Homo-oligomer: A and B are copies of this chain.
């Protein structure tokens, strides 16, 4: 059976927010902190560099028993044998991604409304992103925050695995979990932390509600 998402932290890379550290260095700290789901999301890279980094991350995550997801680039996900791919509403449709990756790889789809949630389930997504919960500057093309209401809808109505995303920080992660979020995605709060291991430990305490 596909292991989709743990009830925990979903970490994403972002070289631009990593205080000058490399993606590999940051991922290494995440894995040492016990992160169990990692998504490679680097929008400004050329594909050749992405492939090199993903090959390294695949080795590291496999060794650590961490699920490895590649954002958008289905070709790279296939080349490195990633566990899955994450796409947005304007990326390749889930059915097209499924055609390429087969039944066993995970497909995650970002959703921003109840309608998109139902559509994601109908299309066969394995999990959904739910957000942006709060305002965020991490993603350039993101829509306005949908707040906790959309999360409530998902929690109360659907069994599909989900990850809450968008503006989640140490100070509000507990609130998101109390609203029923199964898994929380964080970007800047983790990759931008001076001590990533310490930040992950503090996040886990905040989320242990």
A residues lining the B interface (CB < 8 Å): 46-49, 51, 72-76, 78-79, 87, 89-93, 96, 99-100
Contact = CB atoms under 8 A, between A and B. Distances in A.
A49 B90 CA distance: 8
A81 B131 CA distance: 34
B90 A47 contact: yes
A51 B90 contact: no
Dominant SS at the A interface?
A: helix
A100 B72 contact: no
A96 B76 CA distance: 9
A79 B91 contact: no
B76 A47 contact: no
Contact of A96 (B46, B79, B100): B79
Nearest to A50: B92
Nearest to A91: B47
Nearest to A48: B90
